[in-house]
Amino acid sequence: MAFLVLGFTTFFPARAAVFDHAHSALDRTLKAHVTNGLVNYRALKADSKGLDGYLDQCATVTEAEYLKWSEGQRLAFCINLYNAATLRLVLDHYPVTSIKKIGNWFRGPWKEPAVRLFGKTTTLHHLEYEVLREQFDEPRLHFAIVCAARGCPVLRDEAYTAEKMERQLDEQGRAFLGDTARNRVDVGARTAYLSPIFKWFEEDFARGAGSVPRFIANYYPPGVKAELDKGGFRIKYTEYDWSLNDAASK
C-alpha cells in the first residue's frame, strides 16, 4: 500500500545500492554500544560513523523499492529506522537527561524533523503513527520501537530482520511483561498493573485479542493466563520513567 510522507524538507537521496536487509551497520552499532537495554551515548557520540552510515543507507531507499519488499522486510526497515533515528536525535542534543527535554513547548522531540524517508525529512511521530501503525497490523511493534526512555521496552543489542522478526518480537514482549517494575498481574485482586503503553495504544493491543488483559495473557504462565482469559480484571497503570536510557546514569 503506497502512502504519502508529509515531511518538512525535501532532499535528493543518492542512487541506492541493493539494500542490506541484514541491517549490518546498525547491528554492529547496537552490539558495540547497547548493554542490557542501556546505551553508552558518550561512546556512541564519539563513534557514530556506523549509525550515520546506516541512516544514510536508509535515506537512499525509494518508496517504489520499499513497496517491492516483503511485509517482514518493510516492518524491520521501519522499526530499525525509528530506533536509529531516535539514537541520532539524542546524540544531536547529548548530554540530556530525558528525550522530553528535546524540542520546545510547541514541538516536542517526536515532532522534530529527524527522519529521512523517501526523499522527505519527516518525524518520529509520522513514522510511528502514519506508517508503522497504519501499514502493519502488529501490536508487538510497540515492544520494539524505543523512544530512549527507561520506561520503554529495552533496546535490543541487535537489529531486527525479517527472518528473525517473530522470535525477536516475542522475546521483546516476554521481557517487557516480565519486568515487574513496569507490568505485573495480581490474580487475587483481579488487577493488572501495566505500563501506560497499554493505555496509549489500547486499540492496537485489543484489536485482535478483544481486550488488553487477553492480549497480555499469552505472556504469562498457564494459571495466570487462564485467569486473564476469564476477564474481569481492572487495569491500573504504572508510572512511566522518562529518564534517558543512558548507561552512564545507572
Average pLDDT of the chain, as a whole number: 94
Please give the Cα distance from 179 to 186 (Å, whole number). Answer: 14
In this prediction, residue 249 has a pLDDT band, given cuts at 50, 70 and 90, of confident
Please give the Cα distance from 181 to 243 (Å, whole number). Answer: 15
Distances (CA, A) of 119 to 61, 77, 114, 150, 171: 9, 16, 13, 32, 34
Report whether pLDDT(4) > 60: no
Q: Are 235 and 198 in contact (CB under 8 A)?
A: yes
Model pLDDT, residue 9: 60
Q: How far apart are the first and last CA of the chain?
A: 43
Find where cell 497503570 sits. Answer: 237
Query: 95: cis peptide before it, omega within 30°?
Result: yes
Write out the H or E segment, with its range, that includes residue 234. Answer: strand 234-237
Q: Is 244 exposed, middle or buried (0-12, 13-18, 19+ CB in 10 A)?
A: buried
Q: 38 has which bridge partners?
A: 35
**Mean pLDDT for the stretch of residues 4-25:** 69
In this prediction, residue 222 has a pLDDT band, given cuts at 50, 70 and 90, of very high
Model pLDDT, residue 6: 44
Please give the Cα distance from 41 to 130 (Å, whole number). Answer: 28
**Mean pLDDT for the stretch of residues 38-63:** 98
* The overall pTM is greater than 0.85: yes
**Mean pLDDT for the stretch of residues 44-54:** 98
Model pLDDT, residue 2: 40
For Cα atoms 179, 182, 185, give the angle at the middle one, nearest 5 degrees.
80
The string of pLDDT tens digits covering residues 188-218 is: 999 999 999 999 999 999 999 999 999 999 9
